[in-house]
Amino acid sequence: MSYYIGLMSGTSLDAIDAALVSFSNDQPVLHHAINYPLCESLRENIQALCTPGDNEIDRMGQLDIILGDTFAAAVKQLLTDADINATQIHAIGSHGQTIRHRPELEKGKCFTLQIGDPNTIAELTGITTVADFRRRDMAAGGQGAPLVPAFHAAFFSTGTHTRTILNIGGMANITLLPMDTKIPVSGFDTGPGNILLDSWIQQQQQRPFDYDGRWAASGTVNLHLLDTLLEDSFFQLPPPKSTGREYFNTSWLQQHLNRFSHTLAPIDVQATLSELTATSIADAIKKHATESKELVICGGGARNADLMQRIAKKLASTTIKTSDNYGLPAEWVEAVAFAWLARERLAQRPGNLPGVTGAYRPVVLGGVYTCGV
């Protein structure tokens, strides 16, 4: 059996997701998966590099190697836990850690940048590594994101009804899968997923995330703040569109909080941020997925009970499930997707969806870093 490994370090910076995957009749089979923690100093250094600062090139160069080493360590831990030899792995698909994503710049100047040196990963693991997935799509006129909808289309499409896939990671994105497979798949980032929720509780309580959304559930939504946040121009932009930590972050939130003459209770801000994520998701689905009556949710946000309840309340006529119902645990879908994208790259098959990213044609994604001489 030939295995692939998918590596995903997302916007939330909580850990590296590593998934061991095989494919049977073109369908993924998840054999084992781990969360490989990022140490606090590494997380802080990545966060610092996500915003403009001094000595960026030197800091980026060093962090690129350190993070590549950490990705390699995650692979080795996964192989040990699964009792699998590196020689059994056909390839690693590594998304890398995004430190800048600028699709909104004028044509010819937009760019995206991920670190986590694939040369280091390949050298330290002895496994061919596929990385740098986003930039070829950008070169073809696309936004370079979101990329996981191509995997959603391959795995979740059905010829019986229209289905929407919602991924709630640091950012949230939707994939619209038409019942008629001749109609192009579409999708886009809806805005913040977990990023503001995680950042706010880290700032206020020094906790990595709001477990089960309990803190948010205990607060009261401030409707004035919610309306103010929803006025942001990103939510009104037509697709294709994508975003990241460099746009939605604590500085963005603080700018809005500064407009209030009094200090809001932190717990109420958390409740409002949860409502913001749910509202922006529901509004996007109501506007762009009117024919869809089924919503399949994946990503870490699928484990946030408060957030799930808010979404369900806003989409009361929609059947809502998680990807667990279809054989893939919600928290591992993105990592599995990058194992699949590595497989597509080695098979010389396109990995982007122009209807999602805005590229003018399908292109093969990713650079291949072999471990041979």
Confidence of residue 159 (pLDDT cuts 50, 70, 90): confident
* Per-residue pLDDT tens over the stretch 256-300: 999 998 899 999 999 999 999 999 999 999 999 998 989 999 999
**pLDDT at site 38:** 92
Q: Are residues 190 and 316 in the same domain?
A: yes
- The CA-atom distances, in angstroms, between 81 and each of 5, 18, 78, 84, 126 are 13, 11, 5, 8, 18
Q: Are residues 214 and 189 in the same domain?
A: yes
**pLDDT at site 21:** 98
**pLDDT at site 261:** 82
Q: Are residues 200 and 85 in the same domain?
A: no
The mean pLDDT value of the chain amounts to 95
Q: Would you say residue 33 has pLDDT above 60?
A: yes
Name the nearest CA neighbour of 97 among 300, 343, 287, 338. Answer: 338
Q: Are residues 10 and 135 in the same domain?
A: yes
- How many CA atoms lie less than 13 Å away from 156 in the CB half-sphere? 34
**% of the chain residues with pLDDT over 90:** 86
| SS3 (DSSP) at 83 | coil
Give me the residues paired with residue 294 across strands: 163, 319
**pLDDT at site 311:** 98
> What mean pLDDT is predicted for residues 134-150?
96
> What mean pLDDT is predicted for residues 303-332?
97
Q: How many CB atoms lie within 10 A of CB 94?
A: 36
Q: Are residues 213 and 169 in the same domain?
A: yes
Q: Are residues 32 and 133 in the same domain?
A: yes
Segments forming the whole domain that contains residue 260: 149-330
pTM above 0.85, yes or no: yes
Which residues are CB-contacts of 50 (< 8 A; sequence separation ≥ 6)?
99, 100, 245, 246, 249
Q: Are residues 100 and 179 in the same domain?
A: no
The total number of structural domains that make up the chain: 2
> What mean pLDDT is predicted for residues 148-166?
94
Q: How many CB atoms lie within 10 A of CB 224?
A: 12
Q: Are residues 28 and 136 in the same domain?
A: yes
Q: Are residues 128 and 197 in the same domain?
A: no
Confidence of residue 373 (pLDDT cuts 50, 70, 90): low
**pLDDT at site 95:** 97
**pLDDT at site 110:** 93
Q: Would you say residue 116 has pLDDT above 70?
A: yes
Contact 93, 342 (CB under 8 A): yes
Which residues are CB-contacts of 115 (< 8 A; sequence separation ≥ 6)?
49, 60, 63, 64, 67, 68, 96, 97, 99
Q: Are residues 58 and 135 in the same domain?
A: yes
> What mean pLDDT is predicted for residues 61-88?
97
Q: Are residues 158 and 307 in the same domain?
A: yes
Q: Looking at beta carbons, which pairs linking 40-44 to residues 24 or more positions away fall under 8 Å?
A: 42/66, 42/67, 42/70, 43/13
| CATH code of residue 128 | 3.30.420.40
* Per-residue pLDDT tens over the stretch 3-32: 999 999 977 677 899 999 999 988 999 999
Q: Are residues 30 and 52 in the same domain?
A: yes
Question: Helices 250-257 and 223-230 meet at what angle, rounded to 10?
Answer: 120
160 or 323: which leads in pLDDT: 323
Query: Are β-strands 171-177 and 186-192 bridged in parallel, bridged antiparallel, or unpaired?
Result: antiparallel
Instruction: Compute the radius of gyration of the chain from its Cα atoms.
Output: 20
Strands (E), 158-315: 163-168, 171-177, 186-192, 294-298
Pairwise CA distance, residues 263 & 54, whole Å = 32
